Amino acid sequence: MKFNNRNQYVSPTAILGENVKLGDNVAIYDNVTIGDNSIIANDCVIGEPTSDYYHSEEYANAPTIIGSGALIRSHSIIYAGVTIGTHFQSGHRITIRENTVIGNNCRIGTGCDLQGFLTIGNYCQLHSSVHLCQFSRLGNFVFIYPNVVLANDTHPPTEIVKGPEIGDYTQIGIQSSIIGNIKIGDNCLIGAGSVISKDFEDFSFIIGSPAIRKSDVLELIGQNGTPLYPWKTRFSRGMPWADLPSDG
């Protein structure tokens, strides 16, 4: 089973908090800090050196910070220069590249590829096999469903790239593509399979290829006749308002 203390490497410059558990075949490289009560499962690498390591004798790992209460599942790789807040959870085989900042209470699903220079807010959830291009920016409470791609190159190839910006509480449906330096507003719903290459305002229901604004999300009504959005009025699992009394 796990946590047999086999074949582990922990750099002398790494700082591990109290009750940190490391699985077999784990490597914790220079200048890594891992918060209390975190779990790093088998075959993970934390503080993976960037490409400069292979070309410069003067290379030094940038600080890598994992907040308390993390659960990082097997075969995940987190590069040097990443900062992650508290209560982070990952699936298996994720990659988080350098210069990424992730807030508190975020979940990154199995097979996700985060290409670095990213900003991700609090309580974001990426389901399996999501690809985020460099320089993407996610607000708070953004949910991204399987096989979504964010791309930063509208007319490839180019050397001037900047990824999409996604507003707070926005939901992105499966197999959607969001391309270029565009802005999706707060509280939007992006339907499955949409292809987006332009800005959309807050509260947009976005669907199609190329995508259009179908309606205001506040117009979407459930089978019981109640509004479906904003979604926080009907979904609370794992959210900070889960234990608050309802208005009713």
**Tokens 């992650």 found at:** 84
Q: Which helix (H) or strand (E) holds 206?
A: strand 204-208
Return d(Cα 115, Cα 231) in angstroms, integer. Answer: 29
Cβ neighbors of 61 (< 8 A, separation 6 or more) are 29, 30, 31, 32, 47, 49, 53, 80, 81
Helices and strands: H and E segment counts in the chain:
0, 30
Q: Are 47 and 61 in contact (CB under 8 A)?
A: yes
Domains present along the chain, CATH in parentheses: 9-233 (2.160.10.10)
Smallest Cα–Cα separation from 40: which of 12, 11, 77?
Answer: 77
Residue 205 bridge partners (DSSP): 189, 215
Res 98 pLDDT > 80: yes
Average pLDDT over residues 123-147: 98
Report the pLDDT value the prediction gives residue 248, as an integer from 0 to 100: 46
Report the pLDDT value the prediction gives residue 152, as an integer from 0 to 100: 93
Report the pLDDT value the prediction gives residue 183, as an integer from 0 to 100: 98
Report the pLDDT value the prediction gives residue 247, as an integer from 0 to 100: 54
- Which pLDDT band, with edges at 50, 70 and 90, does 134 fall under? very high
For 48-71, the pLDDT digits (tens) are: 999 999 999 999 999 999 999 999
Average pLDDT over residues 67-96: 98
The alpha carbon of 66 is separated from its chain's Cα centroid by a whole number of angstroms, namely: 14
Res 155 pLDDT > 90: no
Average pLDDT over residues 11-35: 98
Return d(Cα 126, Cα 143) in angstroms, integer. Answer: 6
Report the pLDDT value the prediction gives residue 160, as an integer from 0 to 100: 80
Res 96 pLDDT > 50: yes
**Average pLDDT value over all residues in the chain:** 95
Report the pLDDT value the prediction gives residue 70, as an integer from 0 to 100: 98
Res 159 pLDDT > 70: yes
Return d(Cα 210, Cα 201) in angstroms, integer. Answer: 16
Q: Which helix (H) or strand (E) holds 33?
A: strand 32-34
For 170-226, the pLDDT digits (tens) are: 999 999 999 999 999 999 999 999 999 999 999 999 999 999 999 999 999 988 889
Report the pLDDT value the prediction gives residue 161, as an integer from 0 to 100: 86
Q: What angle do CA 176, 218, 139 make, to 5 degrees?
A: 50
